[in-house]
Chains A and B, each alone.
Chain A
Amino acid sequence: MRLIGCEAAGRGIDTFETAATVNTGRVGIFHGMKSYFCQDKYGQIAPVYSISAGLDYPGVGPEHANLHDTGRAQYVPVTDEEAVRAFEYLSKTEGIIPAVESAHAVAYAIKTAPQMGKDKIIVITISGRGDKDCAQIARYRGVDIHE
């Protein structure tokens, strides 16, 4: 069984507007833990960005750092655009509105499923509901509505 963690890449891991900590950060000590953090050469914590408020954080919990270091889990970056498309796709096809955080995982499942055999099973953790995110997704698509 493979474990895959989907990180918020924001506008892309080659930009400064990202929160993909495992992919772009390095080990630091901050907020009471030693783990991976987005930071500069001198240890100044980066002003990270993601469309998802819940993922707009410069670090990951030490459990994730350990799963990464031991190779048990793989951490992949997912951009805002990919997450929004997945949000819309799952809402339209299944009537399940995933939280924009969870939509990052849906996006990677959409990307990786075609490369897997038809008898393989994918489980996606949808850890939150997306009705809270509808107005924000609409604004991302250029519709001027507010909660």
Chain B
Amino acid sequence: MSNIQNAFKNGKAFIPFITCGDPDLDTTQEIVREAVKNGADLIELGIPFSDPTAEGPVIQGANIRALAGGVTTDKIFDMVANLRKDVTIPLVFMTYANVVFSYGADRFLSKCRQIGIDGIILPDLPFEERDEFLPTCRKYGVDLISLIAPTSANRIGMISREAEGFIYIVSSLGVTGTRSEFSSDLSSLVEIVRQNTSLPCAIGFGISTPEHATHMASIADGAIVGSAVIKIIEKYGKDAAKPVGEYVKSMKEAVMKANATVCAED
């Protein structure tokens, strides 16, 4: 069993996404530690990419700021190694296939193992092409996390059965970014996932308010939030750690409410 499943042992999970190096890597470290202190169960660390095709304007902005600030894959590896001196919760990288491929999959994933990265999410890697990276992920014990979208249809079962770590359920069609409407059929999507795997699943894309988080956590095992976190970082810059911590606290409380709701129904 991978360390990732420990993220789902404290009730419903809250998973924030942070773009590394926005506004700089020192601030990213402060934000991560503050998020951990306030109840984050797993953190997705974004390695910025020049062309982040799954991201909406908010996270695109974070990618541009981080790259303009001179962040590189190597500097992010050093930052994570430093974080791992005291941060024990599961950490996963979210980036794009070319960042891993260009670094050399073997070199990249051996480094992940060395610094304590538990999984990677590559939104531009279709399930059918994952053999490009899967053998190397397995070699180094890094989970290759699969995404399932409302359009995955008859591929949901296949993806779920082969999945590792946790399953990332995309809430609605389109790119990342806060929204008020979600796919209406998330419950039945999660149902198909549950029939095919015992792995935990978390819902992401578009979630920003505590109400969304409670709702999503009542359907799945956790909620993933990116753009809403990045908006706080964009607003407060180097002073973002405290306000992100407060936000994480409110969102962790919100997902825990879903637990209470489920118990009450039981």
Contact = CB atoms under 8 A, between A and B. Distances in A.
Interface of A: 28-32, 34, 37, 39, 41-47
B265 interface: no
The interface centre, meaning the residue of B51, B100, B132 with most chain A CB atoms within 10 A of its CB, is B51
A29 B101 contact: yes
B73 interface: yes
B97 A30 contact: yes
Please classify the interface of chain B as helix (H, G, I), strand (E, B), loop, or mixed, using the class held by over half of its residues. helix
B102 interface: yes
B103 A42 contact: yes
Contacts of B124: 29-30, 32
B16 to A, nearest CB: 24
Interface of B: 49-51, 53, 67, 72-74, 96-103, 124, 132
Nearest to B99: A43
Contacts of B74: 42
A42 B73 contact: yes
B49 to A, nearest CB: 7
Given A29-B132, A30-B51, A43 B67 contact: no
A116 to B, nearest CB: 39
Contacts of B73: 42-43
Contacts of B49: 43-45
Contacts of B50: 44-47
A43 B124 CA distance: 14
Nearest to B100: A43
Nearest to B67: A44
A39 B50 CA distance: 10
8 contacts: A28-B101, A29-B132, A32-B124, A34-B101, A41-B102, A42-B103, A45-B50, A47-B50
A13 B259 CA distance: 60
Contacts of B132: 29, 34
B150 to A, nearest CB: 20
A43 B101 contact: yes
A37 to B, nearest CB: 7
A52 B102 CA distance: 28
A42 B72 contact: yes
